[in-house]
Amino acid sequence: MTITIGINANHADSSICVFDKNRLIFAIEEERINRIKHWAGVPFQSIKFAMEYCDIKPNQITNITLNTNPLSNINRKIYYYIKNYLFSKKSKEIFFRQKLKLKIKNQLSQFIGNSNIKYHYIDHHLCHISSAFYPSNFQKAAALSIDGFGDFCSCTIAECSEDQISIKEKVFFPHSIGVFYEAMTQLIGFNKYGEEYKMMGLSSYGNPKYKDVLKKNLFLDQKLLETVIPKAGSSSKIMILYGPMRGLTGYVHELLLDEYKASIQLEDRNDFIKLEYEHISKIHIKKKKK
Ligand SMILES: [Fe+2]
């Protein structure tokens, strides 16, 4: 056995997948073991379970890949950090998060009992795209990854061919259609990170009567958005919407009392969608020959 473990750690829905050479042999989310929905941390129990279930010895684990790369988009991160957070309270939090990402190597090697494991930090969107492209039936494909955020980026467009994924465009923090979606999910009363799928499911039963209002009146306020990100589970200080959206839920009233004067706008929305289509239309998609 030559085992590679892919790990989603210190992030909601922490989980692992296990490959023997190029074959996926096992995958599990930590919440299935600890019974805590959307649990975030290092999924030690999943690793233990996988090793027992697949009969993997510590020295058979040669590689561990992590779905984030602290060095991805590093220039933008540093610039943003210096401009906005250098002397703020948030500075500590950001520093702590980066430390966690680097500390994980020692924690995992110690837990597994193998100090020779090679670690690979992979850009978050590259992980999303490769997890879709490589198991697919396509020889060549256009890829679009849309997330809340991952490595300071909310959207990535790439061209994929047999063994190469080449990133063409990125949308960076703070612009995020994913965070917008998350905020709207909370606005209508769902709790915490991870219930977007409920809104998605319910959307097909409603009429889009607020569509025009949203298009006209929403704008993204960077200061408020920054409060959304670390507190995705709390809806209390997210946003206020102008116009007929007021009073849509109790949260909105509560926020109005707080005199928050802002909202969410997809200021880059049109460009964003245009950009997707421009790139995707240029990429010729071929199916793999069987
Ligand atoms: Fe993601």
pLDDT per position as a tens digit, 54-98: 999 999 999 999 999 989 988 888 887 777 777 666 677 777 777
Residue 247 CA to ligand 1 center (angstroms) comes to 32
Radius of gyration of the chain (CA): 21
How confident is residue 13, by pLDDT bands cut at 50, 70 and 90?
very high
The answer to whether the bond into 174 is cis (omega within 30° of 0) is yes
Question: Per the structure block, which two tokens stand in for 35?
Answer: 């019974």
User: What mean pLDDT comes out for the span 7-32?
Assistant: 95
Q: What is the pLDDT of residue 197?
A: 79
**Surrounding residues of ion ligand 1, Cβ less than 5 A:** 147, 150
Q: Where is pLDDT greater, at 274 or 172?
A: 172
As a whole number of angstroms, the distance between CA 279 and CA 168 comes to 8
The identity of residue 180, as a single letter, is F
Residue with tokens 């063994």: 163
Three-state SS for 98?
helix
Residue with tokens 């250098």: 86
Residue 153 CA to ligand 1 center (angstroms) comes to 10
Residue 68 CA to ligand 1 center (angstroms) comes to 9
Q: pTM of this prediction?
A: 0.73
As a whole number of angstroms, the distance between CA 259 and CA 254 comes to 9
Residue 93 CA to ligand 1 center (angstroms) comes to 20
Residue 8 CA to ligand 1 center (angstroms) comes to 9
Q: Where is pLDDT greater, at 162 or 208?
A: 162
- Render 101-147 in DSSP notation, one character per residue: HHHHHHHHHHHHT-TT-EEEE--HHHHHHHHHHTTSSEEEEEEEEEE
Q: What is the pLDDT of residue 272?
A: 42
How confident is residue 214, by pLDDT bands cut at 50, 70 and 90?
low
Residue 246 CA to ligand 1 center (angstroms) comes to 31
Give the helix ranges, DSSP H, for the chain: 31-34, 44-53, 74-84, 90-112, 124-133, 177-187, 196-203, 211-217, 222-228, 250-257, 269-282
Residue 244 CA to ligand 1 center (angstroms) comes to 33
Q: What angle do CA 278, 286, 280 make, to 5 degrees?
A: 10
As a whole number of angstroms, the distance between CA 43 and CA 20 comes to 19
What's the pLDDT tens digit per position in 88-118? 666 777 777 777 777 899 999 999 999 999 9
Residue 124 CA to ligand 1 center (angstroms) comes to 6
Residue 133 CA to ligand 1 center (angstroms) comes to 15
